[in-house]
Amino acid sequence: MGTALDIKIKRANKVYHCGEVLTGVVVITSKDSIQHQGISLTMEGSVNMQLSAKSVGMFEAFYNSVKPIQIINSTVEMIKPGKLPSGKTEIPFEFPLQVKGNKILYETYHGVFVNIQYTLRCDMRRSLLAKDLTKTCEFIVHSPRALLPKFLIRGHLNSTNCIITQPLTGELVVVNSDAAVKSIELQLVRVETCGCAEGYARDATEIQNIQIADGDVCRNLPIPIYMVFPRLFTCPTLETTNFKVEFEVNIVVLLHDDHLITENFPLKLCRL
């Protein structure tokens, strides 16, 4: 049997939060005594991104080579160069999960184009005649978010079936909100879908943004909704076998603590 290196994290689910301390042991098992040049433990956290094949052409120079964002990279020396006895040796560790400066500890996420991962890596350096040993172990980070303040907002659109030459109308009422209101906006969004049986590409573009309220509005005061459809950027809703042109409106309420409340309404535009 050769030399085996392992990392055992104390928590079975391996879930940690910012500010907590990772604890566990590094286990080294060997039939004979081991001469080494030092054992170190490294905590790493990074965001790895990859552009989709759909982006080729627009971002050819960056395709498949987006630079990773480093969140954590910290190393501690566990044992100085020396000799370990035969059998099993357990080296306990405590590693604080903290970030430096204004970096954010994003939650662990494994996606297709975005990957957020945190690992512990143990390295045992050995002499030139013996191969260095490395063991990596992933742990999970959960990042709780601040709770959304309580609020109640009512309103209506007079119609979501709209004549393109007439304005979109309605009203909005802030009944109550624990946090002060900063701004209320209407966003007109165009949604274009192109493709065929082999696949579809869907792109949403904001084409107009109108602020209908500024500051902490009076409670229970009706705020009129009034938006004229821009002539050059809208057309009647269109749906064919190979492409679609659709429209949506978002009502966006921004609170003073930077919480964002949005509600989406699909629109159908026609011309008389």
Note if the pTM is more than 0.75.
no
Cα 15 versus chain centre, distance: 18
User: Residue 200 has what pLDDT?
Assistant: 73
User: Residue 65 has what pLDDT?
Assistant: 52
- pLDDT above 80: residue 15: yes
User: Residue 96 has what pLDDT?
Assistant: 92
User: Residue 63 has what pLDDT?
Assistant: 47
Task: Give 200-233 pLDDT, tens digit per residue.
Answer: 788 889 999 999 999 999 999 999 999 999 998 9
Q: Looking at per-residue confidence, does 158 or 194 come out higher? A: 158
- Tell me how far apart the alpha carbons of residues 207 and 245 are, in angstroms, rounded to a whole number: 13
Q: Give one DSSP letter per residue of 72-103, joined into a string.
A: EEEEEEEE-SEEE-SEEEEEEEEEE----TT-
- pLDDT above 60: residue 260: yes
- Tell me how far apart the alpha carbons of residues 150 and 255 are, in angstroms, rounded to a whole number: 11
User: Residue 198 has what pLDDT?
Assistant: 57
User: Residue 61 has what pLDDT?
Assistant: 46
- How many separate helices (H) and strands (E) can be counted in the chain? 0, 20
Task: Give 133-155 pLDDT, tens digit per residue.
Answer: 999 999 999 987 767 789 999 99
Q: Looking at per-residue confidence, does 200 or 53 come out higher? A: 200
User: Residue 199 has what pLDDT?
Assistant: 63
Q: Residue 58's pLDDT band (boundaries 50, 70, 90)?
A: very low
Could you give the percent of the chain with pLDDT greater than 70? 92
Which region among 53-62, 97-106, 185-194 has the lowest average model confidence (pLDDT)?
Answer: 53-62
Instruction: Map residue 65 onto helix, strand or coil.
Output: coil
Task: Please provide the average confidence, as pLDDT, over all residues in the chain.
Answer: 89
Q: Which two tokens stand for residue 81?
A: 């160069």
User: Residue 3 has what pLDDT?
Assistant: 87
- pLDDT above 90: residue 103: no
- pLDDT above 80: residue 95: yes
- pLDDT above 80: residue 183: yes
- What single-letter amino acid sits at 9? I
